[in-house]
Amino acid sequence: MRRILFLLVILFAVSCTKESEELSFDTTPKIELLSISNDTIVEFQESISFSIRYEDGDGDLGNPDPNVNSLFVKDSRLQNEDAFYVQPLAPVGEQISITGNLTIELASTFILGNADSEFVTFTIYMLDRNGNKSNVIETETITIVK
């Protein structure tokens, strides 16, 4: 429940393109940070959005089972990462190279201590259905203010 209140993730497969019938990417997924919505946010009032690009050589990113998480986001101020569901980004059972963009929105981010501001970075990675872990990306520093 805390995870729901702390982080709300909205994932959209903005684009998912079939590269060819042959695998044109590595079967280990790769992600790249494209943009961050704000580098300073007001706690409880503003959200943080990350736009990431993904590519996967066999198209097995996301999972049809909503109880299986594929996206992991760690707040540098916390010990544990949060895990989130991602729907399949290509038809299940097809081995096609895919690439596209996802938007991750973190709502209700807040200051954990008593200061008037805090600095935070986020690390993000994905797992495909075969258990292959993508590279880990780290955001630039974001300032949270009261």
**Per-residue confidence (pLDDT) for residue 43, from 0 to 100:** 95
How do the domains of the chain map onto residue ranges? 2-145
* C-beta neighbour count of 105 within 10 angstroms: 15
Confidence check: pLDDT of 99 > 90: yes
Mapping DSSP to helix (H, G, I), strand (E, B) and coil, where does residue 6 land?
helix
Backbone Cα Rg of the chain: 16
Beta bridge partner(s), residue 105: 49
Q: Which residue has the tokens 């501001």?
A: 117
How many percent of the chain have pLDDT more than 90?
Answer: 77
What six digits make up the tokens of 101? 């963009």
Which is higher by pLDDT, 32 or 8?
Answer: 32
Tell the CATH topology of 2-145: Immunoglobulin-like (2.60.40)
CB 128 within 8 A of CB 92: no
> What whole-number distance in Å separates Cα of residue 115 and Cα of residue 100?
39
If 0-12 CB within 10 Å is exposed, 13-18 middle and 19+ buried, where does residue 139 land? middle
**Per-residue confidence (pLDDT) for residue 24, from 0 to 100:** 67
How many percent of the chain have pLDDT more than 70?
Answer: 84
What one-letter code names the amino acid at 120? V
**Per-residue confidence (pLDDT) for residue 75, from 0 to 100:** 96
